[in-house]
């Protein structure tokens, strides 16, 4: 009996331990599997973001000129000469508008293939130096507007330290931060703008980074892409250079000599481009208010469409709507210019104005038109989620 009891107790203990061991090992296996699944899932999401970013910045897509016939798109790519092709971007942006985003369309499926579905966001950013100052004798104030946002920067040398104050204000929202020290970095952000102040002991640099374009399926409806509540989000960022607009034609050094001769500046709007781009006349005058410049669009008489210095940014075509008395046309003219501006410059012969015809992707910030003739350092950011 005694033997039997002991045996029973031993057996009970052994069985308990075995059960515990088996249970625990099962649990451990489950944990390992769960972690592996998570990791694989996470890694594959990162891989999707990374591969998509690689394809977008390194290739022009298949076919190479898909932007001319978007329905032919098989593989998405946004690159041209190792920079960002603005026309491809404009077409992609148009494709992602809510009214155009139809997953049954071939070109939309090609976009979805690249991003592994519809859960993606593509952001184009640019970062530029606003000002860099020597610490020695630093006493500097900057008040300006960047992309419609009021920016105030105050830099002061307090002897052994530097104090920086940055205020951003836009649409009733405000951010205000101050930092003091010998070496520091301070970031102040109010979407879509981020201002960074870096003091390295010898100089203080102020940089601004802004999101120029933010694209996701249905981006034009506003709101957010929807990744905020997702448990898994992956981001890939690639550096590149870009232009914020396309300069279609330009005339430099228009002046008033003997009499204000009208000048005709022809330019081409290709078929389909009125739906893809906003069109602006950008004036780059020698003085803030001079010379007086009248601009007519597709006509040469009557009341001018724009009068500088009253108008500083001249939208000829904005959000798919005309902005001048005579609208722009995209009618085929055998590849020749199909629109023109008439310019009349009045004032001193020492004053001059450069006039540019600029296209920026539809519904972009109008201020981008001012920078269209510059190559900007920037980045492309791909975000995907589950």
Partner 1 sequence: MREKGFLFSLDACLAVLVMMIALAGVARLEPWGRPGHGYLKLERSAQDALNALDGMGVTRYVIDCLNNKQVAEAGRAARENLISLLPPGVSFRYTVGAEDNLLLEVYRDNSENWRGRWENAGERALALHLTCEFIRTVENLDVLIWADDEQDRWFASQVIKPGWTYRMTGEENTFVAYLENRVEPDWYPDVVFLPDVSVYWSDNTLSTLVDYLTWKLVVGGREIGGGAVAGGETLWSNRRDPWRRLFGIPIWLSPYGQLLLMFGISPNPFSSDPGIDRVRGPGYGPYGERMELVDLTHYVTTGLPFTEVPYQGDTYYQYVYETSWVLEPWLRTLGRWENYENGGITWPGLLVREALANLGLPWFGITLRFMERTALFNVRMAQSSYDQGFDGLERERWVELVRRSIEWASRQKAELQPIVLYVWREGG
Binding site for partner 1 (CB under 8 A): 2-3, 6-7, 9-10, 13-14, 17, 20-21, 24-25, 27-28, 31-32, 35-36, 39-40, 43, 50, 54, 57, 81-83, 126-129, 132, 183, 187, 196, 198, 200-203, 205, 207, 237-241, 375, 377-379
d(CA 288, CA 37) in angstroms, rounded, equals 62
**Residue closer to partner 1, measured from CB, 16 or 109:** 16
Query: Least CB distance from residue 196 to partner 1, whole Å?
Result: 8
For residues 53 and 236, the answer to whether their CB atoms sit within 8 Å is yes
**Residue closer to partner 1, measured from CB, 14 or 158:** 14
**Residue closer to partner 1, measured from CB, 5 or 71:** 5
Query: Least CB distance from residue 2 to partner 1, whole Å?
Result: 8
From residue 311, alpha-carbon distances to 49, 301, 305, 330, 350 in Å are 43, 18, 10, 25, 21
Query: Least CB distance from residue 81 to partner 1, whole Å?
Result: 7
d(CA 65, CA 270) in angstroms, rounded, equals 15
d(CA 237, CA 129) in angstroms, rounded, equals 20
**Residue closer to partner 1, measured from CB, 217 or 378:** 378
The arrangement of strands across the sheet holding 120-134 comes to 183-190, 193-200, 203-215, 120-134, 376-385, 233-242
Query: Least CB distance from residue 4 to partner 1, whole Å?
Result: 11
**Residue closer to partner 1, measured from CB, 21 or 221:** 21
**Which tokens belong to 238?**
């690639």
d(CA 336, CA 288) in angstroms, rounded, equals 34
**Residue closer to partner 1, measured from CB, 28 or 221:** 28
For residues 306 and 294, the answer to whether their CB atoms sit within 8 Å is yes
For residues 275 and 90, the answer to whether their CB atoms sit within 8 Å is no
Which three-class secondary structure state does DSSP give residue 31?
helix
Query: Least CB distance from residue 204 to partner 1, whole Å?
Result: 11
- Which element (helix H / strand E) includes 162? strand 162-170
**Residue closer to partner 1, measured from CB, 36 or 221:** 36
Query: Least CB distance from residue 255 to partner 1, whole Å?
Result: 23
Query: Least CB distance from residue 162 to partner 1, whole Å?
Result: 13
């Amino acid at each position: 009996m005694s033997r039997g009891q002991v045996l029973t107790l031993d057996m009970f203990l052994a069985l308990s331990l075995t059960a515990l061991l088996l249970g625990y090992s099962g649990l451990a296996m489950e944990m390992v599997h769960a972690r592996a699944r998570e990791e694989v899932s996470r890694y594959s999401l990162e891989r999707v973001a990374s591969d998509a970013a690689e394809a977008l910045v390194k290739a022009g897509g298949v076919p190479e000129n898909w932007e001319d016939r978007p329905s032919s798109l098989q593989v998405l790519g946004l690159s041209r000469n190792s920079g960002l092709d603005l026309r491809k971007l404009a077409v992609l942006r148009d494709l992602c508008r809510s009214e155009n985003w139809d997953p049954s369309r071939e070109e939309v499926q090609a976009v979805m293939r690249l991003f592994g579905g519809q859960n993606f966001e593509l952001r184009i950013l640019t970062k530029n130096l606003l000002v860099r100052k020597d610490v020695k004798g630093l006493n500097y104030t900057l008040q300006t507007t960047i992309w419609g946002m009021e920016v105030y920067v105050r830099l002061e040398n307090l002897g052994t330290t530097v104090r920086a104050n940055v205020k951003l204000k836009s649409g009733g929202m405000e951010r205000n931060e101050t930092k003091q020290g010998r070496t520091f970095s301070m970031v102040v952000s109010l979407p879509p703008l981020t201002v960074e102040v870096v003091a390295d002991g010898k100089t203080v640099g102020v940089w601004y980074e802004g999101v120029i374009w933010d694209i996701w399926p249905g981006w034009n409806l506003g709101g957010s892409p929807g990744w905020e509540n997702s448990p898994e989000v992956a981001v890939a960022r690639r550096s590149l250079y870009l232009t914020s607009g396309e300069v279609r034609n330009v005339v430099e050094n228009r002046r008033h000599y003997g009499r204000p001769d009208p000048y005709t500046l022809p330019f081409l709007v290709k078929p389909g481009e009125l739906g893809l781009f906003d069109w602006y006349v950008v004036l780059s005058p020698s003085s803030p208010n001079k010379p007086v410049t009248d601009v007519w669009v597709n006509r040469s008489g009557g009341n001018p469409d724009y009068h500088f210095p009253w108008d500083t940014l001249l939208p000829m075509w904005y959000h798919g709507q005309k902005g001048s008395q005579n609208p722009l046309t995209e009618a085929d003219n055998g590849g020749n210019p199909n629109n023109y501006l008439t310019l009349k410059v009045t004032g001193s012969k020492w004053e001059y104005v450069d006039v540019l015809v600029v296209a920026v992707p539809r519904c972009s910030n109008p201020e981008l038109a001012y920078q269209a003739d510059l190559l900007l350092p920037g980045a492309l950011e791909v975000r995907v989620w589950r």
